[in-house]
A = this chain, B = another copy of it.
Amino acid sequence: MSKTVFVTGGAGYIGSHCIVELLNANCQVIAVDNFVNSVGEENGESAALKKVEIITGKSVTFYQMDLLDITELDAIFHKHKIDCVIHFAAMKAVGESMEYPLLYYKNNIIGMLNLLEVMERYNCYQLVFSSSCTVYGEPTEFPVTENHSIGQNITNVYGKTKYFIEEMLEDISHSNEKWNIIALRYFNPLGAHPSGLIGEDPTKPFSNIMPFISQVAIGRKTVLTIFGGDYETPDGTGVRDYIHVMDLASGHVAALSYLFRKHDRIKVFNLGTGTGVSVLDLVKTFEKVTNTVVPFKITGRREGDISIMYADAKLAETELNWKAKHTLEEMCADFWRWQTMNPNG
């Protein structure tokens, strides 16, 4: 596409994988990150992005910065001619968001508002925003289409920040026809780049399913906790729409390409596979693919968790010409490759 893309949260899990695909699509990438969600950083450089440069043989311009610092943000837009923005940066730990709501509202909302203000100032109106299927709350119809109501019964502050920002983007897109925005509602990203060089290693106490499974398999943890075995699902465990992070990454390239092809002011797309998989299915698939044993215990439901969530993925297929390609087996194999190549993250 040969566009210059400003990527916030570029050193994070989804950001770094997306940058691989952006570079492969011949984009120039200016990435920023405050390293809140990242590990292995030194002297303001991102270890993950160094790996991305190895994978792609191309270079990334990187700045360590915080979106709350609007002066620094302005300086980057002043220095570079930016064509479009992909905004990944956000605090994302669901449990933590309930403990520190003010921190989450501050970081996620003010970060977004600062970015919008600076974009407007530099006449840059093409934006892809990382939203989440959590905006649907506890869905009432499956598969969940983009027309499902949003904002009702969202059980955590993280999800509310995504919902509030979607509403804000809706309003600003109506107020000024120059805006051209896509909000991508992610389902459950898993896996890693097939090179094994980059993956997901959460810095904080976490309960993301894949790192948890994987760390039990490699012996960093002893037993996997599955929250809730009494949901109204085939095997009683929660059902999710797991999507390979490289599919998610290519979905962003498809979204950018759409923005430069069409001007709809604002569009929203699910990024999922369209298939619901139970937690237990995921564990079994992981064990089979990696030839490991993952001891697990099933405990009570976790507050804020819902039973079933999977996408209707047709809209993205029709309009973005994008479809998830990777299988659950690949998600497990690729994550495991990364885990074994980087046993300590």
Contact = CB atoms under 8 A, between A and B. Distances in A.
Interface in A258-289: none
A102 B164 CA distance: 13
Nearest to A116: B102
A16 to B, nearest CB: 29
A65 interface: no
Contacts of A117: 102, 106
Q: Sort chain A's interface into a size bin.
A: 20 to 34
A168 B101 contact: yes
Interface in A155-192: 157, 160, 164, 167-168, 171-172, 174-175
Interface string A296-334: 000000000000000000000000000000000000000
Interface string A195-229: 00000000000000000000000000000000000
A39 interface: no
A151 interface: yes
Contacts of A109: 109-110, 113
A113 B105 contact: yes
Nearest to A97: B171
A98 interface: yes
Given A160-B171, A167-B160, A106 B113 contact: yes
A101 B117 CA distance: 11
Contacts of A168: 101-102, 105
A99 interface: yes
A267 to B, nearest CB: 18
Nearest to A160: B167
A163 to B, nearest CB: 9
A171 B167 CA distance: 19
A120 interface: yes
Interface in A130-164: 151-152, 157, 160, 164
A100 B106 CA distance: 21
Contacts of A160: 167, 171
Contacts of A171: 98, 101, 105, 157, 160
A92 to B, nearest CB: 16
B102 A120 contact: yes
7 contacts: A99-B175, A101-B175, A102-B172, A105-B168, A105-B171, A106-B113, A109-B113
Given A98-B171, A98-B175, A151-B151, 18 more contacts: A99-B175, A101-B168, A101-B174, A101-B175, A102-B116, A102-B120, A102-B168, A102-B172, A105-B171, A106-B113, A106-B117, A109-B109, A109-B113, A110-B110, A157-B171, A160-B171, A164-B164, A164-B167
